[in-house]
Amino acid sequence: MSTVQVERLVKDFDDATHVLKGIDLTVRDGSFTILLGPSGCGKSTLLRIVAGLERPTAGRVLIDGVDVTDAEPSERQVAMVFQNYALYPHMSAFENVEYGLKVKRVPKAERREMVEHALELVDLADQAKKRPSEMSGGQRQRVALARAIVKRPGVYLMDEPLSNLDAKLRGQMRESISRLHDELGSTFLYVTHDQVEAMSMGTDIVLLHEGSIAQEGTPREIYQEPASTYAAGFIGAPPANVLGIEDGFIAVRPEYIALTEPEVPAVALPATLTAREQLGDSTIHSFATPLGDVRAKTPCLWDAECAANTRIFLPLSALMCFDAQGKRVAPPENLERLVRARVAA
């Protein structure tokens, strides 16, 4: 296992393209740390710098306290898993996993033992003789994982490894990778734009925004205590509704919005139903309101009628408050009055 530290990391591709803007980050030993954010936020560039595939403009990278900023990838005790598998098509699964060991001149008997163990860890012992073209996308990705495992690195680096898989396979592979992390006890640094992957797999989440860290913490902390309107509006399925009020914003998660008046203190919003999505286990309602577009998530309502013009209710205890710059603040004592005044305006 290993720790990873990046200090004041900057990456510019030209005078106008500032991809990373002074990142300071510590990846805990043995953690499953997720680099999360939309396309273009710098997460893959950060991973590639840790791997040694990109050089930073400024700053440094340390693995277990050793400065590896100028070290070659092979000298860093890391293994990379890419989204496109990067397997040799003419080799079997066994040969793909074995290849790096042959290059390092590991004795044949030891190679066989190491490869067989790696294939067993990813449940591919019975697929060892198949070539990539004979395997499913999920199986090919597990071969790529086995190839990383056999290197016995201190850190596993994964760059959106599930993005090319269909929804069912992504679910299966999330479970497989999480189980693999538990079995290996190693440090995983994993890039994704999919917050479902982040919430379900990570022990730690680092949310990136335009080359800077917007927030870092456990999945529970990121979800329940977003530090900004950006974090609130990114995390969740659907994410929190962010609504403007006097001198700031409020945010409320869709699952906390009530379609009938609750027993707890709440603000009523006039609402016009604009769309409804039936997801089987839940229903997503979209409303136009005086505060803007709002989505509410309820248990599945296949047959229930929802009037086009209705009221929805925002429980006061569920409202998160932010200042005019989008930074999280404590709820003001007059929160209810502020929200009602904005509704009435």
pLDDT at 304: 67
- Give the CA-trace dihedral at 183, 187, 192, 195, to 10 degrees: 70
What proportion of the chain, given as a percentage, has pLDDT over 70?
99
pLDDT at 1: 66
What is the residue-averaged pLDDT of the chain?
92
pLDDT at 173: 87
Tell me the average pLDDT across 85-101.
Answer: 91
In the predicted structure, residue 217 carries a pLDDT above the cut 90: yes
pLDDT at 280: 87
Q: Which residues contact 284 (CB under 8 A, 6 or more apart)?
A: 238, 254, 276, 277, 295, 296, 297
pLDDT at 223: 96
How far is residue 265 CA from its own chain's centroid? Answer: 34
CA angle 165, 167, 173 (to 5 degrees): 65
- Comparing 307 with 238, the larger pLDDT belongs to 238
Q: Give yes or no for a contact between 69 and 56, defined as CB atoms under 8 angstroms apart.
A: yes
pLDDT at 326: 96
In the predicted structure, residue 345 carries a pLDDT above the cut 80: no
pLDDT at 320: 96
In the predicted structure, residue 52 carries a pLDDT above the cut 80: yes
pLDDT digits (tens, 9 = 90+) for 222-231: 999 999 999 9
In the predicted structure, residue 300 carries a pLDDT above the cut 90: no
pLDDT at 103: 87
pLDDT at 163: 86
Which H or E run includes 18? Answer: strand 17-27
3-state DSSP helix/strand/coil % of the chain, to nearest 5:
30, 35, 35
Q: Which two tokens stand for residue 38?
A: 């939309």
In the predicted structure, residue 87 carries a pLDDT above the cut 80: yes
pLDDT at 14: 81
Q: Which residues contact 316 (CB under 8 A, 6 or more apart)?
A: 264, 265, 266, 267, 335, 336
β-bridge pairing 32-36 and 187-192:
parallel
Distances in Å between the Cα of 24 and the Cα atoms of 60, 213, 263 are 10, 8, 45
Q: Quick one: pLDDT band at residue 341, thresholds 50, 70, 90?
A: confident
Tell me the average pLDDT across 35-64.
Answer: 96
Tell me the average pLDDT across 164-188.
Answer: 89
Predicted TM-score (pTM) of this structure: 0.91
